[in-house]
Amino acid sequence: MTVAHTPGGPAARSRRPSGDGRWAAILLAVPVLGLVVFYLWPLIRTAILSVSTGNPFLGYQITGFDNWVQVLTGDELPRALLNTLVYAAVVLLGVPLAMIAAVLLHQRGLRFRGLFRVLYFLPVVTMPAAVAMVWRYIYNGDFGLLNEVLATMGLPTTAWVADPRTALYAVAVVGIWMGLGTNLIILAAGLEAIPDSVTEAAMLDGAGPVRRFASITAPLLSPSVFLVSVLSVIGSLQMFDLLFVMLGRTNPALADSKTIVYLFYEEAFVRSDRPLGAVIALVTLVVTLIVTAIQFRLQRRWVHYA
């Protein structure tokens, strides 16, 4: 029959070119309403605000692109953008870590696999605001656990989240820690999807574990790695909770660690300047789109879809 077709919709579609319009309209009415009210309307409202001036009591009037000029020519945005990209890049290092863990856990006959998975996954299910508090306490420069451990090993110590040189990286480590479980699970699912026959064939050809990984596993796993990377970067671009809880508002490291969403929070929530906040919100959105588009372009060079 339709063996050649991919399963699911397409086959059915080809037979009923316009068929389900009425039903789709009925079934999609509520989801689309929600989308419009809670996502599209806020987007439009933000766009209008970004070219307005005013006051929350008297309302806002459209006055032109002064807010855009102010934000785009100011020195806060480039700095926040840079901080965000550095953060995203550091958190991306969590992907190879997750890959190592996934490959180790994938070995046949491994014991305690379930236990390991639970332990690695634990940070994912916990409240970001709560664990950020714990990490802040661990990073404390005067009585933190981390400094104590480093000191006994004879390594240098500092006030990790108050030192401008380290704060962003210290927060990124927590970002890696929180995301490792998710990355691990997705990569593990990718590994399981690689048929045993492929690796066995390579083994019979006398390929050692390293070569097997490099020439078989890695290429076949690349779609999963790509996905994990995209998700990790999008998550990093949205980072706010961790910074908010771990650094607080009067911190000498803040200027060197502020991300774009934090900058948005400062304008819109602390200074209550909603038009400037709206500009930053839209810039954040555009940056997310651009970075994701770049990733999709780059994937052609290294991702192999089977």
Partner 1 sequence: MPERSRPGRGQDARAGLRAGRVATYLVLAVGALLMVAPFLWQFLTSVKSLRESTVAPPVIWPSAWHWENYQRIFDVLPVETMAVNSLLALILRVTGQLLIASLAAFCFARLRFPLQRALLTLFLATLMVPPQLFIIPQYEVIRDLNWLNTIQALALPGIFSSFGMFILYQFMRSLPVELDEAARIDGANPWQIYRRIILPLCIPALAAVTIMTSLFSWNDLLWPLVINTDPSRMTLPVGLATLQGAQGTDYPVLMAGSLLAILPMVLIFVLLQKQFIQGIAMSGSK
Partner 2 sequence: MKWKTVTLSGALAVGLLAGCTNPATEGDDGGSSDGEQIELDFAIFSPDQEPAIQAVVDAFEDENPNIAVNLQVIPWVDYWNTLLTTSAGGTGPDVAWMLGARLGPYLEGGALLPLDDTIADAGIDVSGYPEALVALYQRDDVTYALPKDFDTIGLWYNKALFDAAGVAYPNPDWTWDDVITNAQALTDPAADVFGIGAPLDPQATYYNTIYQAGGEVISADGTTSGYDDPASIEGIAYWTDMINTYGVSPDLQSFADTESVAQFMSGRLAMLYTGSFYAVRFAADEYASANFDVTELPAGPVSDVTVINGLGNVAFAGSEHPEEAARLAVFLSSPEASQIQSDSGAVIGSYQDTQQAWVDAFPQFNVQVFLDMVDSSVVFPVSDNTEAWASRESELLTPAWTGEQPVEEAAGNLADAMNEALAAEQG
Q: Whose structure tokens read 């790695």?
A: 225
Q: Is residue 301 a contact residue for partner 2 (CB under 8 A)?
A: no
Alpha helices in 122-217 (DSSP H): 128-139, 145-152, 167-192, 196-204, 209-212
Determine which helix (DSSP H) or strand (DSSP E) holds 62, and give its type and residue range: strand 59-62
Binding test (CB under 8 A) with partner 2, winner from 252, 289, 296, 306: 252
Binding test (CB under 8 A) with partner 2, winner from 99, 159, 237, 291: 159
CB of 6 vs partner 1, minimal distance in Å: 8
Query: What would the x/- binding string for partner 2 be over residues 207 to 246, using CB under 8 A?
Result: ----------------------------------------
Of residues 120-149, those binding partner 2 (CB under 8 A)? 139-144
Q: Is residue 249 a contact residue for partner 2 (CB under 8 A)?
A: yes
Q: Is residue 162 a contact residue for partner 2 (CB under 8 A)?
A: yes
Q: Is residue 161 a contact residue for partner 2 (CB under 8 A)?
A: yes
Q: Whose structure tokens read 């990209």?
A: 85
Query: Which region, judged by CB under 8 A, interacts with partner 2, from 112-120, 156-164, 215-223, 296-304?
Result: 156-164
In this structure, what are the phi and psi dihedrals at residue 56, rounded to the nearest 5 degrees?
Answer: -60, -25
Nearer to partner 1, 38 or 57 (CB): 38
Q: Is residue 56 a contact residue for partner 2 (CB under 8 A)?
A: yes
CB of 161 vs partner 2, minimal distance in Å: 7
Residue 137, Cα to own-chain centre: how many angstroms?
24
Q: Is residue 254 a contact residue for partner 2 (CB under 8 A)?
A: yes
Beta-bridge partners for 62: 52
Beta-bridge partners for 60: 54
Residues 6+ apart with CB under 8 A from 42: none
Beta-bridge partners for 52: 62
Measured distance CA(153)–CA(210) in Å, rounded: 33
139 binds, among partner 1, partner 2, none (CB under 5 to 8 A by kind): partner 2
Structure token digits, residue 238:
């949205």
Of residues 268-297, those binding partner 2 (CB under 8 A)? 269-273
Query: Which region, judged by CB under 8 A, interacts with partner 2, from 26-34, 154-162, 191-199, 227-235?
Result: 154-162
Residue 135 class from Cβ within 10 Å (0-12 exposed, 13-18 middle, 19+ buried)? Answer: buried
Structure token digits, residue 17:
């070119």
Nearer to partner 2, 142 or 205 (CB): 142
Count CB neighbours of 225 within 10 A: 22
- Binding residues (CB under 8 A) for partner 2: these are 55-59, 139-144, 158-159, 161-163, 247-255, 266, 269-273
